[in-house]
A and B are shown apart, each in its own frame.
Chain A
Amino acid sequence: MTAPALVRDRFGAFGGRYVPETLIPALDELEGALDAALLDPTFDAEWRDLLTHYVGRPSPLSDAPRLSELVGAPVWLKREDLNHTGAHKINNTVGQALLARRMGKSRIIAETGAGQHGVATATICARFGLECVVYMGEEDMRRQSLNVYRMQLMGATVVPVTSGTRTLKDATTEAIRDWVTNVRDSHYIIGSVVGPAPYPRMVREFQSVIGRESRAQMLERAGSLPRSVVACVGGGSNAMGIFAGFVDDAGVELVGVEAAGEGLESGRHSASLSRGTPGVLHGSLSYLLQDGQGQVYPAHSISAGLDYPGVGPEHSYLKDSGRAMYVAVDDGQALEGFAMLSRLEGIIPALETAHAVAWIAAQRGRWASNEPVLLCVSGRGDKDVSQVREMGILPL
């Protein structure tokens, strides 16, 4: 028996293509289109043009004087919240929609948790005149009803997912089922660095604009590279995007902040890297919240965008190789981070981002006063304001 051809896009032991056979030719096609596009100056020009004139890039790098004072080190904010649609997600959807158009696909499928990726997908589909179907857990539709309405306004169909835990995990499973059924005319725009190859690499590629910009901005504004780069980790796309700019700089520490939900000991969290074990979900091998039988645990987080039991395979690789470290912040601390950035800097962050804010704020004394810290503000908190208000959280 000859060994089957090797699949590219492994990150050490992680990654791979664990999908039904039906999808393999589509993944081959996508990989071919991606590799051709990445070498094609026309694609690069189209993508950059949209990022500049539609998304509003480059996003600013803001100093954060009052947060810096609290932490005891200069904190810099990469402002992905100022992108069109209010989060980093659009960097990826613009890139993938361009690819879909090149491949002649007329229908787009997406999954969404917080609704930010769904909105970013619906947005670019409206711009390109593509049919758009977004799967969203029923529970998340309730938590993020404003984003549901936004998607519908832009012409997308939002399909409620009622199976399993009714959150991002099940929306992703349902989106894959749609793709298996409609693979000939549809492209599936995954919203994070998860899924079968080439998705993790492709999404990182499109998000790495965050890292490239912020590296140059740090050198220009702060006069040095950051000592630490900090980002929240759901599937891990904003983190992978900003890490990509610094992974070759050995002196730069990379920190991913997961959601500890009701606490790492409670069993109700989304900290796959901190508490999971390697397993296969949604097409790749990575750290996963699962029981001893290989059944996937429902994740929990106050923020819908982090509420996922898996994580991108490249993060698993960065964890095991020691290049990045991963920490976890619980729901209550995240709410404090939410209020803190609002009050100290006049920036209301997404609840996802608030996890990273909270971790930095709790590290006073960790950095010397001349060691800059770079925080990825992955999105703005408008979508979360009514949820937080309903919880009765008072201004500080």
Chain B
Amino acid sequence: MSATTSSDPLSLRFESLARSGRRALVTYMTAGHPDPVQSVALMRALQDGGADVIEVGVPFSDPMADGPVIQRSSQVALEHGVGFAQVLAMVHEAALSIPVVLFSYLNPVLAAGPEVLVRASEAGVHGVLLTDLPVGADPEREAWIGAGPLAFVRLVAPTTPVDRMREIARHGRGFVYLISRLGVTGMQANVASDLPDSIARLRTATDLPICVGFGVSTGAQAQAIGRLADGIVVGSAIVQAAERGIDAAHALTVELRQALDNI
């Protein structure tokens, strides 16, 4: 399905960005980090700083796709007793005007029960992205999520062959999340050299907007990637800034916004 025919808030946001020739800034934060109260303030600060979409991470005890920064933030959130219900309560309390995408591993979602997608939608969540549920891994549960009220955002990796990219795009909504390089989440000094090639191949496979994440942390990287893709996802850098304070995370968001708008 194509982004231009959908009317969900995520697709509408990307359509309006495309009309004005701007790139999407997607910022990640772990719900419950630095602590549950500050998390709500952080969501608002990211929105105020110019984020287009907020990815809200659901903490998990064994985050195999995450590097040290997000691992640590998940651990902190779990120590604060943050579970699925608390994550949704934070999103609800933040009452954002921009779309929210839940970023989770599958197990906490399964544990939250069959009503979880509807509850998330009612709390103000618009999309869901599951790190360990690749296309084809579990058709039954993928169909359950695909038929629910949230846009099911799917991931593409540098190792994904182009015919599989097409398959993934067919099952995705909202945007396609392109992992910029091999490895786990975390900040990197350089943009992967094969990224332009990956983006070009993905373009041939989908009309959905393409957002690039994993390793993006600076304004310069945002610009380099923003020239090729429809948006960027910044995770570990935001989480690390949030450890210094909400103001630091806000300042980084503003810097990334300006960089993207000055391409």
User: Is B184 a contact of A180 with CB atoms below 8 Å?
Assistant: yes
User: Is A24 a contact of B142 with CB atoms below 8 Å?
Assistant: no
Decide if A290 is an interface residue (CB 8 Å cutoff). Answer: yes
User: Is B137 a contact of A16 with CB atoms below 8 Å?
Assistant: yes
A3→B183 CA distance, assembly (Å): 28
A164→B160 CA distance, assembly (Å): 31
Decide if A391 is an interface residue (CB 8 Å cutoff). Answer: no
Taking CB atoms, residues of chain B closer than 8 Å to A176 are: 64
Supposing A3-B139, A4-B167 touch, asked if A280 and B106 sit within 8 A by C-beta, the answer is: yes
Cβ-defined partner of A281 (8 Å) among B107, B133, B168: B107
Of A34-42, A49-57, A142-150, A293-301, the one with at least 4 CB within 8 A of chain B: A293-301
User: Is B138 a contact of A18 with CB atoms below 8 Å?
Assistant: yes
A163 closest partner in B (C-beta): B71
Supposing A180-B65, A283-B132, A294-B111 touch, asked if A20 and B137 sit within 8 A by C-beta, the answer is: no
B contact set with A: CB distance below 8 Å? 1, 60-65, 67, 71, 78, 83-84, 105-112, 131-139, 142-143, 146, 155-161, 164, 167-168, 170-171, 179, 182-184
A296→B107 CA distance, assembly (Å): 9
User: Is B132 a contact of A20 with CB atoms below 8 Å?
Assistant: yes
Taking CB atoms, residues of chain B closer than 8 Å to A290 are: 107, 111
- B122 CB to nearest chain A CB (Å): 19
A17→B78 CA distance, assembly (Å): 26
- B142 CB to nearest chain A CB (Å): 6
A299→B172 CA distance, assembly (Å): 36
Taking CB atoms, residues of chain A closer than 8 Å to B132 are: 18-20, 280, 283
5 intermolecular pairs with C-beta atoms under 8 Å apart: A20-B132, A177-B183, A181-B183, A280-B106, A295-B83
Task: Give A187-232 interface residues, CB cut-off 8 Å to B.
Answer: none
Taking CB atoms, residues of chain A closer than 8 Å to B157 are: 20-22, 24-25
A103→B177 CA distance, assembly (Å): 29
A19 closest partner in B (C-beta): B132
User: Is A280 a contact of B110 with CB atoms below 8 Å?
Assistant: yes
Decide if A159 is an interface residue (CB 8 Å cutoff). Answer: no
Taking CB atoms, residues of chain B closer than 8 Å to A182 are: 182
- B212 CB to nearest chain A CB (Å): 14
A1→B99 CA distance, assembly (Å): 24
User: Is B139 a contact of A280 with CB atoms below 8 Å?
Assistant: no
A2→B146 CA distance, assembly (Å): 11
User: Is A22 a contact of B158 with CB atoms below 8 Å?
Assistant: yes
A295→B58 CA distance, assembly (Å): 11
Taking CB atoms, residues of chain A closer than 8 Å to B135 are: 4, 21
User: Is A21 a contact of B108 with CB atoms below 8 Å?
Assistant: no
8 closest A-B pairs by CB: A294-B111, A4-B136, A293-B83, A22-B157, A181-B183, A294-B108, A294-B107, A295-B61
Taking CB atoms, residues of chain B closer than 8 Å to A282 are: 62, 64
Taking CB atoms, residues of chain A closer than 8 Å to B134 are: 17, 19-21, 24
Central interface residue in B160, B161, B164, B183, by most chain A CB within 10 Å: B183
User: Is A183 a contact of B110 with CB atoms below 8 Å?
Assistant: no
User: Is B64 a contact of A20 with CB atoms below 8 Å?
Assistant: yes
A285→B141 CA distance, assembly (Å): 12
A292→B81 CA distance, assembly (Å): 12
Cβ-defined partner of A293 (8 Å) among B1, B111, B139, B143: B111
User: Is A4 a contact of B142 with CB atoms below 8 Å?
Assistant: yes
